[in-house]
Each structure stands twice: as C-alpha cells, then as structure tokens.
Amino acid sequence: MSNIRFQALQTVLTRPIMEVNFPANKISDYFGSNVFDKKKMKEYLSKEAFESIIKSIESGEPIPRDMADHVASAMKAWAIGKGATHYTHWFQPLTGTTAEKHDAFFEPTPDGAMEKFSGDALAQQEPDASSFPNGGIRNTFEARGYTAWDPSSPAFIMGRTLCIPTVFVSYTGEALDYKVPLLKALNALDKAAVDVCQYFDKSIEKVNASLGIEQEYFLVDLALFNARPDMYMTGRTLFGHMSAKNQQLEDHYFGSIPSRVYAFMQDFETEALQLGIPLKTRHNEVAPSQFECAPIYEEINLAIDHNQLLMDVMDRVGKRHNFKVLLHEKPYAGVNGSGKHNNWSMITNTGKNLLSPGKTPKSNLMFLTFFVNTIKAVYEHADLLRASIATVNNDHRLGANEAPPAIISIFLGSQLSEVLDEIETSRISKRIKEDSLLWQGIPKIPQILQDNTDRNRTSPFAFTGNKFELRAVGSSANSANPMTILNMIVADQLRRFKIDVDKLLKKGEKKDVALLTVIKKYIKDSKSIRFEGNGYSEEWEKLAATRNLSNIKTTPKALDALITEKSDVLFENTGVFTRREAHARYEILLDDFYKKLQIEARVMGELVNSVIIPTAIAYQSKLVENVKGLKDIGMDESAYAAQLDIIKKLSEHINFIKTNVDQMVNERKKANIIENTRNKAIAYDEKVKAFFDPIRYHVDKLEQLVDDSLWPLPKFRELLFIK
C-alpha cells in the first residue's frame, strides 16, 4: 500500500496539461450545436409540425400521432447527420442519477438494413422498472415501466447517441422519477400564479418558474482517488489528518485557477455549451481544490435537466484530464463542503419577474403579493422544505461554516424587513386613488432597488434582489426534489391567498384594500421565520426554539415531514403526489440513507482491520526492535524514552480502534435485522454512526505517529494538492 501511495504522488507530479480544442473562436458559433432546439426544428420540420410541437411545449397539449411520426423522422435525420447511430430515453429515476437504455436506429430488412425511428419510439419506451427504487409501488416480478417524451426539454446528442428527455412512470401510472412531480408542481404554480396575477394584469396568461443553479465541486487527481478505497466507495475520505495549511488563509477563493484545472474547465464548458447549457461563470471556491460553475437562468424544468447533464459531462471530461470530480457534499472533514445554490423566481408570459420590485405603487403591490406569499409558504411548510434537502451526505454539511443550518429561516435584508414591518403596523387607507399611496405611513415604496439586500451565507432561504436563493441543496442532489416542494407550497399558498382575497371582495371591499388586508395578515403570521442574523450562532438556535421553528439535524427525522397528515392534504390539493407516491418516496429516501451509512461503516471496518492496524503494528515492531537494540548496547532508558512513549501511544490507539470497530460491526448487524425502514435508518444514524468520529480521531492520531514512508493511504493534504 505504501508503494501505491508514493506511485500515485509521483504520477500526479508528472501529469501533463491537456490541450483543449474549441469548435470555433466564438461561443455563439457553437452554442447548442448538439441540441435539437427550436432553430433546428424549424429547419427540419414542416410548418404544421413545428407549430404543433411549439404548442405542446407552451401549453402541454399532447402531440398528435401523425405529428409525432413527422418529428421523429426529422429528429432522426438531424441526429444521423451528426453521426448518431443510437437513441435513448434519458430519464431521472429515484437513484439520484440519470438513466438510459440505448437502441440502434438500425433495423434489418429483407433487402439488407435501414435506419428507422418512429413516432412511437420517440414518444414511449419500456425499460425494466423492477430494478429502480420504487418504495413498494412495484413488486420485483412486475417489471413494466414506461418512459414518455417530455417535449419541453429538447433532445440532444451525447457521443453518437440521440438522447430524448423523458418522464418515468410505473405500469399503473405512479411517478418513479423526479421529473413527473416537478412538472405537476410547475403546472400547479402556473395556474395559481396566473389566477393571482389577474388582480393586476389581465394580459398575463402563463407563469413559469425560472432557476439558476450554482454548482460547487472538488477535483482530485485520479491516481490519488484510486489509491483511496474510502473515496472510491463512498465519495469522501473516511480518514485523513488535517493539513497544516488548508483554507484558513482564504487565499484559494477567487484565486488564480491552476493550469490543469483551467484546461479541464474549458473542456467541459465547451461540451456543455454545445449541449445548450448556458454556462456563464467559473471560479475557485473557498476550500483548496474546490471550484464552482454557474449558468444563466432558464425555465426550471430545462435548468434541472441541464444540471443533471452537466454533472455527467463534468465527470466524463474530468477523466480525460485525469481528474475525479467529487460532488459529495463533504468529501474532506475540516474544510468547506459543496452545495448547489438554487436561485428561483417566477416569470410571466409578458416578461415580468414577479419577485422584482417595481416603480409604481401598483407594481409594488404585485411584487409584495408574490413576495409575501412565498415567505408564508416557506413558513407554513418549513419542515417539508427541510425534508427536500435531507440526505446522508448533506447531514455532514448543514450547519457547518460554509452551509446554512438545519433550521429553515428566511433572510430579506434590512430594507425589505423594515418595509414589511411598516406594512404590518400601518393603517390601510380606505380612500385609495390611482396615483396616491396605497396605505398611510409607508412612503417611497417604489425606491426598493433590485440589489437592496446583502447576501447572507448562513441563511437557507435568502432574498437576493429579484429572486430567492435556496442555499441548503447539496452538491450531488437532483434539484428537482427541493424545487418540486418549493413550487408546490408556493402554488398552494397562492391558491389560499386568492380564496382569502375573494372572501373580502364578496363582502364589498375594494380590491387593493382586500389585497393589502390579507398581505398584512400574512406578514404578521409568518414573521417568526424571518431572521437577519448569524444562522451559525448558538443564540439563533435558542431564539429559533422560542419561535417554534424546527431544528431537525438528521435525515431520518427530517423525512417524517413527507408522511404527515398536513403533507397528505397539501399533496392532494396540488395534485403533485398521491399518498402512495409520497409514502413510497419516504421509504426510498430512508433506504438510501441507511444503505449509504452501511457502506461507509463496512469500508471503515475493512480499512482499519486490513490496512491501518497492520501498518501501525509494523511500525510499532520497528520501534520495539530499535529499543531492544539500544538496550542491548547498554544505553540507559533516557536514550529510548521517546520510542517507548510512541510504542505506548500506538498500543492505546490500536486497542481503541480495534475495540470500537468491533462494536460498530455488532451495531451494524443489529441494525440490519430491523424490519421497519425508519427504525433501521435511525439505528444507523444514532448507533452505527456514533462510532465514526471516535474511530476517525484515533486513526488521525496514528497517522501523526506512524513513519510517513509506511503510511498506506494518500493523506488529506496530498489529496488537496493540484499542480
């Protein structure tokens, strides 16, 4: 093992920097070149077929069968012209990754062969559903599942395969993926938001959610990655002594990008841009070997598809550059972990950002309506939003110094907080004129600026000028999960808002008075979730408790929010999940949690018993021989006191590690026989995981004591090194 370590380090030191070839000098010349986008549809489709697919994209109406055949024929012609030989339905099952089954265009004929791709093949495929997580919806012998084309997300080419974004459902119609609930939530938001928009602007007929996803990641050289069984199996270092210099000088953040990394970034960005992913930003992040990329905002369904695709592209291109892209939320203890900041807003068909303050009292009343309803939605369903970002990986990150705490709160900035406080305490004028103030005591509302808030990195949900930023999403997560919940709860809240306003209108209140009356009530009701201070502080934990805000720190308990009576009612009202689907996802997420902990515990035990303890004993034996030799030549004890001290410390650490690993294994065996999934997950979380940190601590101490030439695993400081 020690030889493997130094061979890996030698390999890293001699890595060449790959040359990157660009398709053209200007990005605009090759952006979207591998995407069957509207421009190419117009080129390859008849006018009738083009209008049919655009109508389907914009309204969700199904495409007629004859049009589907026409689209499939055009798509095949374009793809084959680009060198494609196969097609696949590209979908997002509940494994957390993407999935695909490739079929060839090629089909034999009596006269030889031909390339064939029908409307039926475009619209639907039948992958085996039994091996994907389903939470009990399907039995193993009930294998049938269907993927169905999502026209709103354009097809693209990866390698020589035409990839068609699809949904994935069971034979009986239940959602088995992340896309189906997201599309339902977006439909619910569209309907509810348009209904509320009608109070202000009758020309608004559609509201889309927009999303920009900032993606953080680490890079590690492949040689070092492959020499670490813990990273290879779990995505993170289960062991590793802290480097003397890590991120404490904060000199990596926004620093000069290392040459090898710069080449990798250019390469994966080029592929991403050809796939229509509008990457705009790249930079060094806070921790050594940590980086970030970010795209321009897109419609939310497309933004999430693009982020899933981006993670795949980064991984493939990384291997070309001899890098492993680490998307684990906390690959290294002691330095920042990685998140996926989700910047969310709502945009009307008229181009209006509903979360952007305006310049007139009327437009600001519209802004306040959607702004306050979003706050109220998060207040009402904070536990459900917390559940949407809960994973075993994210548990390591939430509440640390680079991520928001597990307490869901909202940061607005001092100016907007003062505005809401004034609205709450103001007296609504009953004599409203078109150009007058809408209420007394709140002058100059139009002066709210787009960038009127500072950024609060300790807030899980922060308003940043014209959008809300959900900062608590983990770097490896599919953003569809939290975005489904966010869009769903806002949709439900807007529906309730309309009911409350319409009640006042029926009583004879003027529209603006009715709107403001309900807004004032919502501001007061949801005030406790607003917090402007340091979310990392102990004072905030205590204050949050007095406000009855939940502080659910572990995944198994956070996931309980998915199966409450309150959530069942919400799912039914919005139509996003059936009760069966919600409970199935609850089981899947719990199962994923304890299985990942099980893998970590097994890897930890195997490494300790087969690699770390034998290495420590070998070094101890060398010291014993050294002491014996010194005694044999007549040296007194003072000459080998240091060696004796190290021998003693090695024995203490070895004995502690061995005892605790054995106990951890026993707890793991006990947990495995528990049938209830929640109880099993909690047993892993509270019993098995309890051994991780003590074992890690004593292994770290061994690493400091053992001869550097004997230590078997690449060290923490070595893993963070990129030339």
Residue 515 pLDDT more than 80? yes
pLDDT digit string, tens, across residues 565-575? 999 999 999 99
**For position 115, what pLDDT does the model report?**
81
pLDDT of residue 447: 44
* Comparison of pLDDT for 8 and 142, the residue scoring more: 8
Q: What are the structure tokens assigned to 188, written together?
A: 């619910």
**Higher-confidence residue: 633 or 398?**
633
- The residue type found at 143 is A
Range with the poorest average pLDDT among 136-150, 373-387, 574-588: 136-150
pLDDT at residue 674, as a whole number: 96
pLDDT tens digits, 529-549: 999 888 888 888 899 999 999
What number is the average pLDDT over the span 1-21? 86
Residue 142 pLDDT grade (very low, low, confident, very high; cuts 50, 70, 90) = low
What is the spatial distance between Cα 586 and Cα 685, in angstroms, rounded to a whole number?
A: 16
- Tokens describing residue 197: 């928009």
Q: What is the dihedral of CA 494, 499, 505, 510, to 10 degrees?
A: -20
Model pLDDT for residues 448-482, shown as the tens digit of each residue: 444 444 556 678 899 988 999 999 999 999 999 99
Query: 344 CB contacts (<8 Å, ≥6 apart)?
Result: 209, 210, 211, 300, 467, 468, 469, 470, 483, 486
Residue 125's pLDDT is 78
- Sign for the CA dihedral angle at 33, 39, 43, 44 comes to positive
Output the pLDDT for position 169: 86
Range name among 166-180, 306-320, 399-413, 625-639 with the lowest pLDDT average: 399-413
3-state secondary structure of 420: helix
Measured between its terminal Cα atoms, the distance across the chain in Å is 23
CA 603, 607, 608, 610 dihedral sign is positive
For residues 715 and 723, what is the distance between their CA atoms, to the nearest angstrom? 16
pLDDT digits (tens, 9 = 90+) for 484-495: 999 999 999 999
With a CB cutoff of 8 Å and minimum separation 6, the contacts of 101 are 88, 89, 125, 127
Q: What is the mean pLDDT of residues 17-28?
A: 93
Per-residue pLDDT of 107-134, as tens digits, reads 877 777 678 888 888 888 776 656 777 7
Higher pLDDT among residues 70 and 698, named by residue: 698
What average pLDDT score do residues 379-398 get? 93
pLDDT above 70 coverage of the chain, percent: 93
- Residues 222-233 have a mean pLDDT of 95
Task: Give pLDDT, residue 434.
Answer: 45
Query: Band of the pLDDT at 590, cuts 50, 70, 90?
Result: very high
Query: Looking at the predicted structure, is the pLDDT value of residue 691 above 90?
Result: yes
* pLDDT value at residue 399: 60
**Average pLDDT for 352-363:** 82
* pLDDT tens string 646-657: 999 999 999 999
pLDDT the model gives residue 278: 97
Q: Identify whether the C-beta of residue 494 lies closer than 8 Å to the C-beta of residue 373.
A: yes
- Mean pLDDT lowest for which of 476-485, 687-696, 710-719? 710-719
Give me the pLDDT at residue 440, please.
41
- Residues 279/293, Cβ–Cβ less than 8 Å: yes
What is the predicted pLDDT for the residue at 130?
62
Q: Give the global pTM.
A: 0.93
pLDDT band, residue 429 (cuts 50/70/90):
low
Least confident of 299-303, 395-399, 404-408, 428-432: 428-432
User: 97-106, 338-347, 495-504, 673-682 — which is least confidently predicted?
Assistant: 97-106
Residue 291 has pLDDT above 90, yes or no: yes
Check residue 458 and give its pLDDT. 75
Give residue 143's pLDDT. 54
Tally: H helices and E strands in the chain: 25, 17
Alpha carbon distance 204, 206 (integer Å): 6
Residue 436 confidence class, pLDDT cut points 50, 70, 90:
very low
Residue 28 has pLDDT above 50, yes or no: yes
List, for residues 188-204, the tens digit of each pLDDT value.
999 999 999 999 999 99
Mean pLDDT of 45-62: 84
